[in-house]
Chain A
Amino acid sequence: MRIGVIAEGHSDRAVIVNIISGLTGLDESDFQPLLPQYKYDATDKAAGRGEVHGGWNAVKDECENRIFINDFLSQEDGDFIAIHFDTSESAQYGINQPEKNLNYSNELRNLIINKILNWLNEDLSHVLLFAIAIEEMDAWILTLIENRNSTSTANAKKRLEYKLGYRPGKLKPNYELYLEISNKFKTETSQNIKKYLSRNESLNDFYEDVKSKVVPFLNN
């Protein structure tokens, strides 16, 4: 079994890999990175078109065109695809922000999931694992570090930088680093995992989504 990962950045994929591995026992090599990746060749890059094909735009584009999604799902062991979104820029994509009440996190998650399914033009929700991080995925990592609810943390990345002892602007996200700093999702006891989940609703929702889809599949 393999899980494809469409994420806004490589570092986001690392967090997703640790969370799912911890829950299911899958190995890092069971995850297939699909996005982000370089869209252009070195010639394009020299001509100024070298941006990484990632972020919200890339994910939206992929959902509408389904190049990587179909590639992956057409393979016999291509069973699930985790799709990641940070909600921080969601307003730009026509998603009205719900009221900031107790259900804010859950309502925003549902709005984004509906948007994704709209873009896909097909209900693939049974094979998709929605990694919708309210604001930023760094807020999920903060749950491993401090005992407080990170959902409403204003600038999660800055706080993470501070909590990890980096000087401002010095935390440069990359896959290996984020794999290391989110490693506890993979290695900690279920007791501790529960604690982390209680500190961020959107993290908990993702965890439950994986649990309800992947775990039964693995047990079959």
Chain B
Amino acid sequence: MSEATITQTHWLARIYVTLKSGVVDPQGDTILGALRQLHFDSVAGVRMGKYLEVTLTAADDAAARATVEAMCTTLLANPVIERYTFEVAPVTS
């Protein structure tokens, strides 16, 4: 098996979990207040979310995406209040 093939089996998923629009975000509101207090007068709103980096092995892009999708729906996001997006990329280093 070539080195290139081996590295292609490792993937990095960058996952963003954010509150659904309409769900009050006390953390974002507090940060907004702090920014305004620091005279960032142009700031119009802050929504705080979570960013996760998950490394995994998968046969190909589609398989990696399917696994990350399952991680998000099972554990990483709560569908009552959150939504998620993610991107996956092969780890080459």
> Is B a genuine binding partner of A?
no
Show the binding face of A for B, using Cβ within 8 Å. none
Show the binding face of B for A, using Cβ within 8 Å. none
